[in-house]
Amino acid sequence: MSDFTFLADDPALDLLNTHPAGGTDLLRTSDDLVRWMDEAGLIRAGGNHTWRWNDKADPLLPRVKRLREALRTYVEAMATGGVPDPEAAGAWADEGAAAPADGEVSRPEQLYAILARAAGELSRKPAANLRKQQTPGGMVWVYRTPP
């Protein structure tokens, strides 16, 4: 059984939901990040990719967590009618350009690029469809398109 819940209908919001308001951070190690991205369908972690992580020396997980919190600030601004940081959205688009289109990752840096691409894509969606939802694990974000 997975520790992760995917109910946001958006991978960037699902990233936010790995540390819901009032809940536990589910991304404690780089291995957690890879497992989450695989379960989210963003990558294919199986196969021949055996990466050795040193969470203290590897900047990937802290960088992903900084992205997650910048995205949280951006989404909060979107949802409340505030002004999201346009430079953040531009940076995510630039960083996301290095993401492999098919989810076939050959280098750990591509994991960040995939998440940046997802953040950039979310920044272009209508804010009116953002919703907060209470779950047993804490308050999470979802994206609901009206029928």
Query: pLDDT (tens digit, 9 = 90+) per residue, 61-75?
Result: 999 999 999 999 999
Q: Please spell the DSSP secondary structure of 80-140, one letter per residue.
A: TT----HHHHHHHHHHHTTS-TTS--SSTHHHHHHHHHHHHHHHTS-GGGEEEEEETTEEE
Residue of 58, 33, 9 whose CA lies nearest to 25 = 33
Note the pTM of the prediction, 2 decimals.
Answer: 0.90
Tell me the per-residue pLDDT of 94-144, one tens digit each, with 9 for 90 and over.
999 999 988 888 888 899 999 999 999 999 999 999 999 998 888 999 999
